[in-house]
Structure 1
Amino acid sequence: MNARIAVVGGGISGLSAAHRLRTLLPDARITLLERADRLGGVLRTVELAGRPFDVGAEAFLVRRPELTELAAELGLGFVHPTAAAPTVRAGGRTAALPTATLMGVPGSAARLDEVLSPVGLARIVAERHRPLRWGAGEDVVLGTLLRSRLGDQPVDRLADPLLGGVYAGRVDALGLRATIPQLALALDAGASSLTAAVDSVLAAQHASSQAPAGEQPVQLDERAARTASAGVVSPAGGAPSPQPVFGAFPGGYRELVDALTAACAAEIRLGTTVRELARTATGWRLTLGPTTAPEALDVDAVVLAVPAPAAARLLTVVAPGAACAAGTIELASSAVVALAYRAADAATLPTTSGILVASDERLSVKAVTHSCRKWAHLATADGILRIRASLGRFGEVATLQADDATLVARARADLVELAGITAAPVDVVVQRWGGGLPQYASGHLDRVRAVEDGLPDGIAVAGAALHGVGVPACVGTARRAAQRVAHSLTTTAAAGGVTAP
């Protein structure tokens, strides 16, 4: 079938959709349109002191099958983290990140004495005996629920830093059902308290981890499992699962982007803005380029793999209901400051995998990843220690309005406090992610349903705004989008509606 298909967006979702379309429709003419001057979106590998280093997404969840299967198709191998454990900066000191929690929401076995004050600990214990009112199926703002049950300390010192690392957002703006769905389901099932709900989820995860390899159910909740390998999500007894949870490409995500680009065999058009999408008698017309020199591209089907606001704009005429729903999904911005130090100049760098920073700490960074400790392939064979600091949360506009030099200065000042590093780095890369992460507010699942159900045949959407912000989740949405488009084209062709151009 010589169908003409446009994929709008050259990030991991767009590239994965184009690749899947190529396998489903080998003869299709696929055009991939990307506004930027490079492919990859929030996947970006740079050279930091002479070695590939990711300054966007860093790792992926191995327990989700989408990316591991894709890597196998492309002939790519990946590595796992070392045994280095994470820490948290809370109450003015650094401590081991507690185990037996679910994205920072503590279970009954969580040891929190190094993170919370005696008053905070007492509030946690009392929660188990307080009556809980919960309506099955309801969705609430996560922060509101947690603060009402647990108080502010565990929210500011555990849940907010963890979820802030995933969404660059605030727990007080995120919805429970989209961010920690397992917790919502446990509450739906009648848990007597928030602590009891966490305990039931952790017990189920522990049982799953003990099952034979061929009998383990697929873990579909990336947010809850994202930190499991570091001991953040662990069984009630506190021992993390020995099975690898995360993976990374030794040459950086550049390996995946390059492999997908070659395998999809699409016409790649960089620096191309798609301004309008309209229906034609036989398919769809995309208006490209500047208003002073517009170009029309006629195709039989379209995959939109762009951020929610861009999808809303393009769908306004052809799918107004879907456009309205997509337009309510907000975005957060963040920045990564990657730094490389001579080993002798950073000898005080802890041997931990990194540090999360509580939101009530007076520091600029929200997290620091000790990449050279976390990943064996980034260890100090060349005498260089590489780390990355993350800055910026949802609503912190002023933080990211600072210039690069100021962001670097703030990161370095915090490294003095957190790691005792005072020397100047030998290399620095600043990467800004404007609107890089969608915010899963309360009611997010309903918004996504309205987007997907409101699309006409021949149009599909993919990306982080839908069913998860992690790379495997994006690959999953891309594959479903490609299958939707392929099914639509195949059905239309059977009825005589698609002809060779």
Structure 2
Amino acid sequence: MTGSRIVVVGGGIAGLAAAWEAVRAMPDAVVTVVDAADRPGGKLRREPVAGVAVDVGAESILARRPEGLALMSELDLAAEVVHPATTSAAVWSRGDLHPLPRGTLMGIPSPASSARGILSADEVARAEHERPWEGGEFDDVSVGDYVAARLGEAVVDRLVEPLLGGVYAGQARSLSLRACLPGVFAAVSRGESLTDAARAASAAPEAQAVSAVAPTGAAAPVFAGLDGGVGRLAEVLVEQLRVRGVTIRSGTIVRELHREPVTGDGGWSVVVGSRAQPERIPADAVVLAVPSTPTSRLLAPHAPVAARELAAIEYASMAIVTLAVDSTRRRGAAHPPLTGSGFLVPAVEGRTIKASTFTSSKWAWAAGAAQDLSFLRASVGRHGETTDLQRPDTELVAIAVAEVSEALGHQLPPVVDTQVQRWGGALPQYAVGHLDRVSRIRAATRSLAGLALAGAAYDGVGVPACIASGRAAAQSVVTHLRSDGGGAGH
């Protein structure tokens, strides 16, 4: 007698969370995680820079969604949760750094006058005179089109676009208002002012995922991390999964997914390995926690409608350039300290980088990690823009140093070490109609007993959302296995 066999395809945080939920719910289950990457963790990843392990993917989580902090607590990491020393972000607009207005919701200012400097006087005046939406009733519309019609093009180009770029690496005029700003969508659908909707939504806990800074007087921190980097969450989770008997196979691509009529409802098998020497892993239940393209390929024989919908989800690629710079005060050198959490760059500025984070200013653990060194990073890459990502690492580093220096108005201190992390197909694009597409995918896969989908492609791209997605998928297959008497492994 053996436990149910559960295979999780994908070793990012959604897949790892699915495995964690499954093994906690069914301690006797045989859980296997199959991951194509060189190591599990996905976008939660640390790499050494100047001898210090720093985050080269996600570097914080949303603290006002419970899933991330709850998982940290379950892993006995609650005492190591840290919050940013500063959330004072800026926007590099028209040659200067301007403070991002507090309470800004995905770049929608409330009031518009708070964005003066980022916006010109005429642009502020246009935003203050909000116009009614004249596009008629809609089920969905792009964030950019809607905001531009009501508050003006400049609000989109200089505020909304860089905020969306930071969260989705996306284009404002392609991303769904309903999916990306559900609170605002609901409010304006009721006929409320966009500015009033943004003001109300920016104060709501669930909205802080897209608010760059906390609203004035916020009682609780908006963002959280871990001492030593949020990438430790994946590392500790992997350790604990292995302690509980979970097998994690890295560097393993799943080539095919088959239904096997082992039980009344059918079982599954996952095919890995080369075509010449395929290996079949039997499973009573499968969680697909990989991006939409490989999910589409695996589902094509079983749910062609879902496969077509999944294939239509586009992704943005990006790169993170991390710099370790000499922070000592050398005689005759004028290198002012980096202040604030960093800055965003509107696409209309024509720069290569889209943002820079001052890691050592933002996180106390980074400031104390290495004597006489400061860490910062810059991100490159927006949806539909791939030319810059084709540059070699050395060029990306040189561009990051030059553009951050220009934004600051002074040369960065000497660079001691660098690291370039490329994230191909990193962020799904929630295009107009995304939520309806997800509903169609779920409807088309509902009959596939013992199979569930998880990951950033569906209900949110942030770490807590992906954790929630993974855990929900695991709960779904566990419910199936219990109703089925435990699966074919019994």
Normalised by the length of structure 1, the TM-score is 0.90
Instruction: Read off the aligned partner of 2:116 and give its amino acid letter.
Output: D
Whether the 8 Å contact between 1:392 and 1:399 is mirrored in structure 2 is yes
2:228 partner SS: coil
CA distance in 2 between counterparts of 1:428 and 1:12 reads: 26
Q: Which residue of 2 aligns with 1:446?
A: 436
Whether the 8 Å contact between 2:322 and 2:418 is mirrored in structure 1 is yes
Instruction: Read off the aligned partner of 1:436 and give its amino acid letter.
Output: A
Work out whether 1:474 is the aligned partner of 2:462. no
Whether the 8 Å contact between 1:79 and 1:250 is mirrored in structure 2 is yes
Q: Which residue of 1 aligns with 2:398?
A: 409
Whether the 8 Å contact between 2:326 and 2:414 is mirrored in structure 1 is no
- Tell me the alpha carbon deviations over residues 150-184 of structure 1, each in whole angstroms, 9 at most, x when there is no partner: 22211111111011000111111111011111110
CA distance in 2 between counterparts of 1:328 and 1:349 reads: 45
Query: How far off is 1:274 after superposition?
Result: 0.5
Q: Which residue of 2 aligns with 1:358?
A: 346
Query: How far off is 1:347 after superposition?
Result: 2.7
Name the count of aligned residue pairs.
Answer: 472
Query: How far off is 1:115 after superposition?
Result: 1.0
Does the C-alpha gap of structure 1 residues 6 and 222 become closer, same or farther in structure 2, counting only changes over 3 Å? farther
Work out whether 1:113 is the aligned partner of 2:112. no
CA distance in 2 between counterparts of 1:346 and 1:27 reads: 62
- Tell me the alpha carbon deviations over residues 207-226 of structure 1, each in whole angstroms, 9 at most, x when there is no partner: x6xxxxxxxxxx3446334x
Whether the 8 Å contact between 1:135 and 1:188 is mirrored in structure 2 is no
Whether the 8 Å contact between 1:493 and 1:499 is mirrored in structure 2 is no
Say which of 456, 462, 468 aligns to 1:464.
456
CA distance in 1 between counterparts of 2:461 and 2:481 reads: 28
Q: Which residue of 2 aligns with 1:327?
A: 311
1:475 partner SS: helix
- Tell me the alpha carbon deviations over residues 121-166 of structure 1, each in whole angstroms, 9 at most, x when there is no partner: 1211221xx3334766621011111222222211111111011000
Work out whether 1:93 is the aligned partner of 2:77. no
Structure 1: gaps (5+ residues): 209-218
Q: Which residue of 1 aligns with 2:355?
A: 367
1:466 partner SS: helix
Alpha carbon RMSD of aligned pairs, Å?
Answer: 1.8
Query: How far off is 1:422 after superposition?
Result: 4.5
CA distance in 1 between counterparts of 2:251 and 2:97 reads: 45
Q: Which residue of 2 aligns with 1:6?
A: 7
Work out whether 1:63 is the aligned partner of 2:64. yes
- Tell me the alpha carbon deviations over residues 71-120 of structure 1, each in whole angstroms, 9 at most, x when there is no partner: 11110131000135111111221111112421111223651221111221
Say which of 266, 269, 276 aligns to 2:256.
276
Say which of 270, 274, 279 aligns to 1:290.
274
Say which of 224, 227, 250 aligns to 2:227.
250
CA distance in 2 between counterparts of 1:321 and 1:272 reads: 27
Q: Which residue of 2 aligns with 1:147?
A: 148
- Tell me the alpha carbon deviations over residues 213-266 of structure 1, each in whole angstroms, 9 at most, x when there is no partner: xxxxxx3446334x2xx24xx2xxxx2413111111112234212221122231
- Tell me the alpha carbon deviations over residues 406-436 of structure 1, each in whole angstroms, 9 at most, x when there is no partner: 1111111102201222443101000000001
Bigger mean CA deviation after superposition, 249-258 or 274-283 = 249-258
Work out whether 1:315 is the aligned partner of 2:294. no
CA distance in 1 between counterparts of 2:430 and 2:123 reads: 28
Work out whether 1:169 is the aligned partner of 2:178. no
Does the C-alpha gap of structure 1 residues 137 and 131 become closer, same or farther in structure 2, counting only changes over 3 Å? closer
Query: How far off is 1:443 after superposition?
Result: 0.8
- Tell me the alpha carbon deviations over residues 424-482 of structure 1, each in whole angstroms, 9 at most, x when there is no partner: 31010000000011001111111112222322110001111111111110000001000
Q: Which residue of 2 aligns with 1:262?
A: 239
Whether the 8 Å contact between 2:325 and 2:412 is mirrored in structure 1 is no
Does the C-alpha gap of structure 1 residues 292 and 156 become closer, same or farther in structure 2, counting only changes over 3 Å? same
Instruction: Read off the aligned partner of 1:492 and give its amino acid letter.
Output: D
Whether the 8 Å contact between 2:44 and 2:233 is mirrored in structure 1 is no
Instruction: Read off the aligned partner of 1:439 and give its amino acid letter.
Output: Q
Q: Which residue of 2 aligns with 1:485?
A: 477
Whether the 8 Å contact between 1:6 and 1:303 is mirrored in structure 2 is yes
Normalised by the length of structure 2, the TM-score is 0.92
- Tell me the alpha carbon deviations over residues 248-291 of structure 1, each in whole angstroms, 9 at most, x when there is no partner: 11122342122211222311111111011111112012111121
Bigger mean CA deviation after superposition, 328-337 or 1-10 = 1-10
User: Which structure 2 residues correspond to residues 22-61 of structure 1 after superposition, within 5 A?
Assistant: 22-61=23-62
User: Which structure 2 residues correspond to residues 194-273 of structure 1 after superposition, within 5 A?
Assistant: 194-202=194-202, 205=203, 219-221=205-207, 223-225=209-211, 227=212, 230-231=213-214, 234=215, 239-264=216-241, 265-273=245-253
Structure 1 stretches of 4+ moved >4 Å: 133-137
1:302 partner SS: strand
Bigger mean CA deviation after superposition, 417-426 or 452-461 = 417-426
**How much identity, in percent, do the aligned residues show?**
43
CA distance in 2 between counterparts of 1:107 and 1:407 reads: 36
CA distance in 2 between counterparts of 1:244 and 1:194 reads: 26
Does the C-alpha gap of structure 1 residues 346 and 259 become closer, same or farther in structure 2, counting only changes over 3 Å? farther
CA distance in 2 between counterparts of 1:273 and 1:461 reads: 17
Work out whether 1:395 is the aligned partner of 2:384. yes
Bigger mean CA deviation after superposition, 37-46 or 288-297 = 288-297
CA distance in 2 between counterparts of 1:445 and 1:375 reads: 35
Q: Which residue of 2 aligns with 1:214?
A: none
2:427 partner SS: strand
Does the C-alpha gap of structure 1 residues 466 and 110 become closer, same or farther in structure 2, counting only changes over 3 Å? farther
CA distance in 1 between counterparts of 2:255 and 2:51 reads: 39
Does the C-alpha gap of structure 1 residues 449 and 256 become closer, same or farther in structure 2, counting only changes over 3 Å? same
- Tell me the alpha carbon deviations over residues 319-373 of structure 1, each in whole angstroms, 9 at most, x when there is no partner: 2222122111110000000000111378324311101112111321110101111
Whether the 8 Å contact between 1:332 and 1:395 is mirrored in structure 2 is yes
Q: Which residue of 1 aligns with 2:16?
A: 15
Bigger mean CA deviation after superposition, 158-167 or 348-357 = 348-357
Does the C-alpha gap of structure 1 residues 422 and 70 become closer, same or farther in structure 2, counting only changes over 3 Å? closer
Does the C-alpha gap of structure 1 residues 49 and 133 become closer, same or farther in structure 2, counting only changes over 3 Å? same
Say which of 302, 305, 323 aligns to 2:289.
305
